[in-house]
Structure 1
C-alpha cells in the first residue's frame, strides 16, 4: 500500500515554558500510538516531535492513506437463539447481522464453536481498513483530551458562540500527507497548509508549506524558527559556550534553566550583559538565584569559581545593533540585584539569636505546633547524638547549631528565595563571627536534599541533620502522616534516605532502633506531654524499604539485599561490609549447598511444634553424623564469633565452608522428627544452633536457589 510522510501542527499562543518539552513529546507519542493502533503506520516508522513557544507538531514517516483490510471474527449469539429447529435464522440473528452490515445470505457461512460450555455462532468477515482522514481525526481527538496539560484554558471560537478547552488558544491546524491536505478538524479549526513563523523575524507570512517534509526547512528559512526542541537547545548551548569562552569565563550548567529558555525562544540569540561589581558583595548564591529564577539569565564564573559581574541572556530577536536589548536587560537585572542587596543588608541588622523567639510564631503543622516547639526537641536530640559521637564538646556545639538552624526562615532573603534556606543562615552566622563548625552545620543540616547531594561537612552538621530528619519522621508517623503511593507531601522518603546515607557513609556506630527510641522518648515524654506514645514499628519498616531500594540501585542483587536486611541490622554502617561478605561467600564452591541446607533447617524449625530448647545434651547425640556436626560447630563457633566481633564479616562467613560436609552427612543419615521427644528436641536444638551460627552476618537461606 502506498505510504507518504505525515505532518501535523497546532499553531497556538505562547505555551507554558516549564511544560513545553513534555507537551511536545506527549503530543507526538499520543498521535503515533493511535495511528499505530489503527494500522495506519508501522511500529518502526520514524517520528520527529516539534515544539516551540507557539507550536506543537509531529512528523511521521510512511503513513498509509488507508489501513489494510483485516480478517475479523465476530461473536454473534448462542446457536439456540440464532437458529430455529430447521436451522433457519431467527429474527434476533437477522437483526444482529443487519447491525453489522450483512443479511441472511451470510447465514450458511457462520461458524459454530464453543464459548465456554455454550455452542455459539461466529461470523468471519473482512473489515475495511480505516482511512487516514478518519484515523487522524480520531487520533487528534484522543491526543487533545489526553495531553498532560497543567491548567486548561477555556476560550471562544471565532464565531463568538462556541467555547473550547485547551492549554492555550489554537489559531491554525496543519495536516499534510505528503503534499495533500488531510481533511480533519479540531478545536473549531479546519486543517490546511498555512502556518506562521517568528512574530518579528519571519520573511514570509503566512508560510505556505509545500509538503510534510519541507516543514522544518521552511520554518527556518522563511519563518526564522528552529522548530525542533532538541535542535534549538543545541543551538543555544553552542552560543552560550562560545560566548562564555570569548569572555574567558565558565558557564554554570543548569539543564532545567536551559530547557525553560529553549521553551521561551524560537530564534535564539545569546548576548553578554554586565552588572555593577559592587553587587558581588552579596552572597553569590543570592545573585545567581535571582538571575536564574527571575530573569532566566545564565550567570558566569571566573577561574576561581567566583561569580563574575557578567551574564548571558538568550534573546528571541536578532537586531543589527543589540545595544538596546542588552541595556534594557542590564537595567532590569540591576533592579533585581539591588533588591537582593537590600534584603541582605536588612537581614544583618538583627542577629540570628535575636530572631529565635520569633520561631514560636511560625506554624510547623496544625497537629504539631510551631517551629519553635519543634526546634526545642531537635536541639535536645542533636545534643544527645553529639554527646554519643563526640562527648560534651560536640553536644554543646550541636545544641548551638540546632538552636539557630531554622532562624533564617524569618529573614527577608529566604522569604523571597526559599531555596536559600540554610545557605543564608550560614552567611549570617559567619557575618556574626560564629565558628565555621556552627555556620556550616546551619547550612548542611538540610543535606542531603536530593539524590546524590553531598552530606554534612562536619560532625556538628551530622548531629543536627540526623536530629532534624528523625524528629520529622517520628512526629509525622506519630500523627499518621505516612506516604501513600506517589504522595509524600512532607518528603519523608527523602528524610529517611538522608538518615540512611548519613549513618552509612559517615560510618557512624549509632543504632537505628536506639535513635528512634531516643527521639520517641524525648518527644512523647509522658511527664511533659499528655499523649499516648505511638507504635513506630512501621517507621523502621519504612526506613528499611528505602534502604533496600537504595542498595539495589547501587548494584546489589535482590537476594543479597534480602539476605542482609532480613536480620534487621540496627547498625546501618555495617551493611556495606555485610553485603561485601555475602558477595564473597556466594563465590565459594560450598555456598549453594550451604544456602540450600540453611533453607532446609529454617523450614524444619518453622514447622516444629512447641518450644525449642537452647541446650544441647551430648549424651542424646546418638548418631555419628550428629556428633560430628556438633563437634564441628563447637570448634568453629569461637572462630566465627571472633571474626564477627572484629567486624570481619567476610572471614566469619568463609569459616562456614567447613560445615558443608558435616551438614550433608547429617541430613543423609539423621532423621530429625523422630517419635522420641527427647531425641527430637535435642536435634532441633542442634539445628537451631547451626542456624544461629550461620546467620550472624546474613540469612543465608535467602541465597538458596528456588
Structure 2
C-alpha cells in the first residue's frame, strides 16, 4: 500500500449471539463510529457509500471508497503569548519548548513561528502541513472508538484464550476481519488480530470462509455461509414470507406496534430465515385471546394469525426459523410441541381463576402492598371508590356503576392469570367481570383502565370508563407525589408524567363528548378533583402543598405538549391562568387568532404595563368614582370599558372566547390615548387611586381568556 489510492474497506467483528433487541442499533452505531473517525482523518473519498451489516453473530460495515493514505493537511496551532514563548533574544523558552513537544511539533524552530494579535496581545502560532493519516493507524483508532461507543445494554467480562487476559464487551468476540481491497489491514481489537476469516451459518453453511474482497463479502456469506448479512434485507425477506403465508391461509399477522417489534426481534435472531405454519388445538381458543397472543409473541417469538374480517385469533401461527431443511416437518412439530404446554398452562390458570367470582377477590387485596407509606391495594381501592363516586356526581353519571368499576379495578391482581401474565392486568379482570355478568360499562372500564390516554370522545357507554381512568390517575398523582416520589430528571419510576398526560386527555375527551363544558352544569375541575383526592388519604401521610404542586405539574406537562403545536407565547398566556382543562384548546385557538390581529401588540404591551403598575402599588385600590375622572382620555377609557365589559363577559360566560377577545380589541384606541395623555401615578392620592381602579377594571377585562401581557415580545 504505497501510493494513495482508493479501495473498498470491510470491517467485521464476529461474536457470540448478540442481544436481539439491541442488534439493529448496535449495527448502526458500529458503522457510524468507524465512519466518524475515518471522515475526521480524511480517508473517505467523495461519494463513499456505507453499507451496514448486522446478524445475530456479527457487526460489519462496508465502505465503498477509502484512501490508504490521506493527503497532507494544513494545520494552525495557537501556542502562547509572545512574551512567554520567546525570550529577549527571540529564542524559544522552556515553556514553549514543552508546549511544542506536547503537540508533536518539537522540530519547529523559532523562525518558523508566526506572530499574530488576538486583539489583546500578540500570540505565537505554528502553521504547516501535517502528514496525512495512514489507513492502518486511522482504522485502529476508528475501531477503538466504535467499540467503546456502542449502545451496549449490559457489558460482560470474559477471558481470552491465553488464560490470563480478560476483556469487557457485550458478548465474546471470535474473529476480526479488516480488508482494504485484497489486503488485510493490520488492526486488532478484543485480543483479536485482523484477518480475512469469517463465520458462516452454524448449521447450514461453511463454518469458516475466507473473504476475498470487501465487495464479495455479502455474496460470499450468502452463497458459502448461508447468511444474509444485511439486517434490513433479512427483515424485508421475513415480512414478505410472513405476508405470503398469511395470504395463502386467508388470515393476517396484524399491524399493531407489537407486530413490528416482534419482526425486528426475530430478524435479530436468525441469519437465514424461513417461515413455516404451525397450529394448536382449537379448544385453546376458549382462553382469552390476549393470553395466547402474549404467550406466542413474548415466549415463543411466533406470529399469531387473525381473521381479517372479525379480527378473531386463529388456531394457526407462523414460525420464523433459522433452518431450511428439505423436510421441515420436524421443525414445525417441535414448535407445536413446545407451545402446547404453555397454552395448556394458560387454560388451566383461566379455568381455575373462573371458579372464584371477581368480587370475592377484592378482600384478598388487603395482603397486597401498594406502597409501604400508602397501605395495601385494598386501601387504594377504598380511595379509588371515593374519588370515582365524587367524579360521577360531578358529571351527573351513575354513581353505582362508577363505584362498582372502582371496587373491581384491581381485583385481578391476585389471580393466577395475572401472576403468569402481569402485562394483562385489567384485561383479565374484564374477562372475569364479563363472565360474572357485571354491567358492560364496568367491563369496559376494567379493560381500558391501563391505557396511556383516552383518544376518543367519551360517550354515555364509555363514561364509567372515563371516570375510573380519571380516578386512578388522580389517586396515583396525589399519593405518589405526596410521599416525596415526584419525578426527577429522567427518573419517573411511577410514570407520573404519563399519568398527568392521561388525566389531561380524559378532560379533553369528556369535553369532546359534551360531558364537560364552559357553560354547562357540570362542575368537575382539576383543583377540586385534586383536593378531594388528597382528602381520601390518611391525615399526615401527604406532604404539605401536594395538591398545589401536582396541579402545577399537570399544567406544566400540558404546556410541554402544547408548545409542539402552538406558539409558546400563546400557550403560556392561556396556561398562566390555570383555566379549566376542558377549555384550554379553545382558549389557545382564540388567543392565537387574537395574536394575529393588528391591535394585539399594542394591547399586550399595555396589559404588561398595567400588570407592573398594579404589582408595584402597595395601597388598597378603591372602587372607581366617575366624578374623579378629569382627563378626556381617562373618561373615554371609562366609557369604553363600560360599553365593552358586559358584552365581553357575556361572550366569555358562553364559552365564546374568540368573540370575547375580538370585543376586547375594540379598546385599543382608548387604551393608547390613555397612556399617551394621562399620568397614572398622579400626586393627588384620590386621583391616583381612581386611575388605578380604572386600570384594574381594564386588567380584569383583558385577562379573562388569557394573560395577553405574555404575548408582548
TM-score, normalization: structure 1? Answer: 0.94
* Contact 1:7/1:59, CA 8 A, preserved across alignment: yes
Q: Does 1:319 align with 2:325?
A: yes
Q: Does 1:389 align with 2:395?
A: yes
Note closer, same or farther for the CA distance 1:223–1:687 as it changes in structure 2 (3 Å cut): same
Q: Does 1:185 align with 2:196?
A: no
Distance in 1 (alpha carbons) for counterparts of 2:9 and 2:456: 45
2:710 aligned residue: 702
Q: Does 1:277 align with 2:282?
A: yes
1:537 aligned residue: 548
1:241 aligned residue: 243
Shift in Å at residue 340 of structure 1? 0.7
1:616 aligned residue: 624
Note closer, same or farther for the CA distance 1:271–1:688 as it changes in structure 2 (3 Å cut): same
2:529 aligned residue: 515
1:208 aligned residue: 210
1:251 aligned residue: 253
Note closer, same or farther for the CA distance 1:80–1:100 as it changes in structure 2 (3 Å cut): same
Residues 100-499 of structure 1 correspond to what in structure 2 (within 5 A)? Answer: 106-113=109-116, 119-202=122-205, 204-253=206-255, 254-302=259-307, 303-390=309-396, 394-447=398-451, 449=452, 458-499=462-503
Q: Choose from 653, 657, 661 the match for 1:653.
A: 661
Distance in 1 (alpha carbons) for counterparts of 2:457 and 2:226: 44
Shift in Å at residue 131 of structure 1? 1.4
Q: Does 1:25 align with 2:39?
A: no
Distance in 1 (alpha carbons) for counterparts of 2:490 and 2:91: 59
Distance in 2 (alpha carbons) for counterparts of 1:327 and 1:517: 60
Distance in 2 (alpha carbons) for counterparts of 1:494 and 1:84: 66
Distance in 2 (alpha carbons) for counterparts of 1:531 and 1:498: 22
Shift in Å at residue 25 of structure 1? 1.5
Shift in Å at residue 493 of structure 1? 0.6
Shift in Å at residue 700 of structure 1? 1.4
> 1:251 aligns to what SS in structure 2?
coil
> 1:597 aligns to what SS in structure 2?
helix
Residues 598-613 of structure 1 correspond to what in structure 2 (within 5 A)? Answer: 598-606=607-615, 608-611=616-619, 613=621
Shift in Å at residue 390 of structure 1? 2.4
Query: RMSD between aligned alpha carbons?
Result: 2.3
- Give unmatched runs, 5+ long, in structure 2: 517-521
Distance in 1 (alpha carbons) for counterparts of 2:10 and 2:418: 48
Distance in 2 (alpha carbons) for counterparts of 1:340 and 1:490: 29
* Contact 2:367/2:376, CA 8 A, preserved across alignment: yes
Shift in Å at residue 513 of structure 1? 0.4
> 1:523 aligns to what SS in structure 2?
coil
Shift in Å at residue 328 of structure 1? 1.0
- Encode CA deviations 1:562-601: one digit per residue, 9 max, x unaligned: 11101111x2111111122123323433333333333333
Q: Choose from 67, 73, 76 the match for 1:73.
A: 76
* Contact 2:30/2:59, CA 8 A, preserved across alignment: yes
Distance in 1 (alpha carbons) for counterparts of 2:474 and 2:682: 51
Distance in 1 (alpha carbons) for counterparts of 2:132 and 2:509: 61
Shift in Å at residue 434 of structure 1? 1.2
Note closer, same or farther for the CA distance 1:429–1:95 as it changes in structure 2 (3 Å cut): closer
Note closer, same or farther for the CA distance 1:103–1:559 as it changes in structure 2 (3 Å cut): closer
Note closer, same or farther for the CA distance 1:582–1:103 as it changes in structure 2 (3 Å cut): closer
> 1:388 aligns to what SS in structure 2?
helix
2:557 aligned residue: 546
Shift in Å at residue 662 of structure 1? 1.5
Distance in 1 (alpha carbons) for counterparts of 2:339 and 2:476: 38
Note closer, same or farther for the CA distance 1:450–1:197 as it changes in structure 2 (3 Å cut): farther
- Encode CA deviations 1:270-325: one digit per residue, 9 max, x unaligned: 11111111111111111111111111111111121111111111111111121111
Q: Does 1:683 align with 2:691?
A: yes
> 1:506 aligns to what SS in structure 2?
helix
Shift in Å at residue 604 of structure 1? 3.6
* Contact 1:612/1:685, CA 8 A, preserved across alignment: no
Distance in 1 (alpha carbons) for counterparts of 2:411 and 2:692: 61
* Contact 1:612/1:684, CA 8 A, preserved across alignment: no
- Encode CA deviations 1:164-220: one digit per residue, 9 max, x unaligned: 111111111111223322110001111112212212222x44222222222222222
Shift in Å at residue 119 of structure 1? 4.6
Deviates more, 1:627-636 or 1:544-553: 544-553
> 1:350 aligns to what SS in structure 2?
coil
TM-score, normalization: structure 2? Answer: 0.93
Distance in 2 (alpha carbons) for counterparts of 1:131 and 1:530: 67
> 1:60 aligns to what SS in structure 2?
strand
> 1:480 aligns to what SS in structure 2?
coil
Shift in Å at residue 123 of structure 1? 2.4
Deviates more, 1:119-128 or 1:635-644: 119-128
Shift in Å at residue 437 of structure 1? 1.6
Distance in 2 (alpha carbons) for counterparts of 1:504 and 1:567: 18
* Contact 2:159/2:166, CA 8 A, preserved across alignment: yes
Note closer, same or farther for the CA distance 1:44–1:593 as it changes in structure 2 (3 Å cut): farther
- Encode CA deviations 1:616-637: one digit per residue, 9 max, x unaligned: 1212211111111110110111
* Contact 1:36/1:43, CA 8 A, preserved across alignment: no
Distance in 1 (alpha carbons) for counterparts of 2:157 and 2:541: 53
- Encode CA deviations 1:631-670: one digit per residue, 9 max, x unaligned: 0110111111111111111211111121122122222222
How many residue pairs get aligned? The number is: 695
- Encode CA deviations 1:517-560: one digit per residue, 9 max, x unaligned: 00112214x4xx6776554322112101111122234x222122
Distance in 2 (alpha carbons) for counterparts of 1:290 and 1:103: 68
* Contact 2:413/2:425, CA 8 A, preserved across alignment: yes
Shift in Å at residue 76 of structure 1? 4.0
Shift in Å at residue 417 of structure 1? 0.8
Shift in Å at residue 446 of structure 1? 2.0
Q: Does 1:593 align with 2:602?
A: yes
* Contact 2:201/2:207, CA 8 A, preserved across alignment: no
